[in-house]
Structure 1
Amino acid sequence: MASMHTNATTMYFTNCSSSSSSTARLLHFSTTKLHKFSNSISHFHRQINLHQYRTSNPKFPKSILTHSSSSSSSSSSTVEVKSEASAKVIDGKRVAKDIREEVAVEISKMKNEIGIVPGLAVILVGDRKDSATYVRNKKKACDTVGINSYEVRLAEDSTEEEVLDHISKFNDDPSVHGILVQLPLPSHMNEQNVLNAVCIEKDVDGFHPLNIGRLAMRGREPLFVPCTPKGCIELLHRYEIPVKGKRAVVIGRSNIVGMPAALLLQREDATVSIVHSRTKNPEEITRQADIIISAVGQPNMVRGSWVKPGAVLVDVGINAIEDSESPRGYRLVGDICYEEASKVASAITPVPGGVGPMTIAMLLSNTLLSAKRIHNFR
């Protein structure tokens, strides 16, 4: 916002789009009943992973199984949905734009009053196109709000020591208030060692173990909260969606999204459950939730039948599936089957245009927060 197998029955997951040229996918979830889907549902397209946090999420096993066309009835617990979408769309693009404008005003004020401009340093190792795109988007966002950006690009075969050396220099540079190491790193590098080397006062990604530890403890405050889960909660706040006392389910338990999202919801006084790769009957658990945050990176995994009527859905997944009608040859979908879920939920984030823009907006906000704290500016 990241394999379920037991001796129980299996659960189908199919693409809810109408495309006919798709590949079937099966994920093995433990469940006491085989949840049947309508014979009009088509199979999953081949998935193309575009999102960096997938690397740290559990990988759900996939195999091919032919679904009988005679399956036309649904489980007794299946939610009947309306024929038209009724959920309010949570517009992450609009909220992110508002946040960028707020950050720009604060940065201008800081520059005018004390002559300080926040600085963000990004270290990119290797030539992954998706990572390069993320870095380019972050730099563009920094430019729009007035944050100075510093960038280091290293070859794929660079040593871990080279990365640590650049981190050390940025740690000591007073013009740099935030340091971000673009993930994933090449396999020969120890990700934990690299992330731990970032000075906690400049850990604007919020991945330092001391920041995560403080997030998990009552009565303690982290210096920074990881950007994507922070963006999820900010969307709930901006749309005045109550969290206190609500039942919340987080699907996925990665260190980058799932786990910190669950901790943030708990801090908001929600009653939180985490559905993960060993969870039995996941659809029954999610069906009890008032709020669902999904961050597993599996296209259209969460069906409409998983959703309690009136629930609020936050979809962190960004997955590309083949689409011959698209000029790019693919289209983006989330973890939640939007066409089905939007007929049951009261509010839902779209993909794209939901959580994605919020991640960068929260990075800018964290960088400003760091500069204000370091320079004692209020």
Structure 2
Amino acid sequence: MEQIILDGKQVSKKVRESLKEKVTDLKAKGIIPCLATILVGDDPSSETYVKMKGNACEKVGIKSIRLHLPKETTTETLIETIENLNHDSSVHGILLQHPVPSHIDERAAFESIAIEKDVDGVTSAGYGQTALGFGKYPSCTPAAIMKIIDDYDIPVDGKHAVVVGRSPILGKPVSALLLNRNATVTTCHSHTTNLPEIVKQADIVIAAVGKPKFIQGDWIKKGAVILDAGYNKGNIGDIDYEACLENASAITPVPGGVGPVTISMLLKHTVEAAALTE
């Protein structure tokens, strides 16, 4: 059995190269695509992610605005900041870095993002549109998973996809995207019984549980495709990579798999949002 390593870096590179041309065209029309990122507090990992996203924007010509609010910021102040960005016609996308400090109502903050600027796919309206099949900007990690599937011509129609994880910005939306592509989808979670037996039935496994090396090699049936959306300390995904590699026909590495494409989808959505303002 020929095994394919699903190289997210190469997929990401292709996306970003195509975006450079689109950004150049938009700038010729006087439109500068702009992404505003909001960071609340001083979480080191979040600071790193926001910096990475800003750097990625600059490399393809997208303007990046970074707003760093103190950890004492209230829900009301955060929503006011988002509303100001909603009304700023020069801003095309808004990203609120997750997680925010515990005293803030994160869901209320997400919901205050205008749907046309929800390039990270975090609003309930955006999720609903994605599930119904007409959403412009799905959550970026699910969008990245589908982009890798498409770039490698992995068949989805009629396949059994098992998604391990049900978060509102990963497990649930990727389940909807796969279902809309005519996959038969089983979404598993912490209350699922007989999880290994269910995963063994999968043609496509989506690991989105947030636990290092959670999915074991003997859970994978011969020839299954595995997309690991997990990222844990020590550059470890949600699957036991070496063990799962033995049975997989195609697999994403960590790092270098879903992660780079996730950021590229954020850039793509921002450019698409800017193009709609022509």
TM range (shorter): over 0.9
2:252 and 2:201 mapped to 1: Cα distance?
A: 19
Q: Distance in 2 between matches of 1:125 and 1:296?
A: 25
SS in 1 for 2:211: coil
Contact 1:86/1:344, CA 8 A, preserved across alignment: no
Shift of residue 86, structure 1, vs aligned partner: 5.7
Identity %: 46
- Report what 1:239 is aligned to: 152
Helix, strand or coil at the partner of 1:333: coil
AA partner of residue 363 (structure 1): L
C-alpha distance in 2 between matches for 1:288 and 1:242: 16
Pairwise CA distance, 1:213: 1.0
- Corresponding position of 1:174: 89
CA deviations on 1:165-209 (whole Å, 9 max, x unpaired) are 211111011110000111101111101110011111100011111
How far apart in 2 are the matches of 1:198 and 1:300? 35
Measured after TM superposition, the shift of residue 301 of structure 1 is: 1.1
Is 1:91 aligned with 2:7? yes
Aligned mates of 2:223, 2:277 — CA distance in 1: 43
Shift of 1:373: 1.5
Letter in 2 for 1:274: T
1:310 maps onto 2:228 in alignment = no
1:236 maps to amino acid: I
Aligned length: 278
State how 1:53-64 maps to structure 2 within 5 Å: none
2:42 equivalent to 1:139: no
1:16-54 residue CA offsets vs partner (Å, 9 max, x unmatched): xxxxxxxxxxxxxxxxxxxxxxxxxxxxxxxxxxxxxxx
1:202 counterpart residue number? 117
Q: Which residue of 1 aligns with 2:275?
A: 372
* Superposition TM-score, scaled by structure 2 size: 0.98
Which of 282, 286, 293 lines up with 2:206 in the alignment?
A: 293
Paired with 2:43 and 2:118, the residues of 1 have a C-alpha distance of 23
State the one-letter code of the partner of 1:305: D
Q: Detail structure 1 runs of 4+ shifted over 4 Å in the superposition.
A: none
Structure 2 CA distance, aligned partners of 1:186 and 1:298?
22
Deviations 1:39-73 (A, max 9, x none): xxxxxxxxxxxxxxxxxxxxxxxxxxxxxxxxxxx
Larger Cα Rg: Structure 1 or Structure 2?
1
Residue 241 of structure 2 is aligned to residue 338 of structure 1: yes
For residues 216 and 96 of structure 1, the distance between their equivalents in structure 2, rounded to whole angstroms, comes to: 24
Compare the two structures and name the one with the higher helix fraction.
2
Distance in 2 of aligned mates of 1:185 and 1:147: 25
Could you tell me which amino acid in structure 2 is paired with residue 266 of structure 1?
L
1:268 corresponding residue in structure 2:
181
**Mapped partners of 1:277, 1:198: distance in 2:** 30
Shift of 1:138: 0.4
- Encode CA deviations 1:307-338: one digit per residue, 9 max, x unaligned: 01000000011112xxxxxxxxxx31111111
3-state SS of paired residue (2:263):
helix
The match for 2:129 is 214
> C-alpha distance in 2, partners of 1:215/1:228?
13
CA RMSD between the two structures: 1.1
TM-score of the superposition, structure 1-length normalised? 0.72
Matches within 5 A, 1:275-286: 275-286=188-199
Q: What are structure 1's unaligned runs of at least 5 residues?
A: 1-84, 321-330
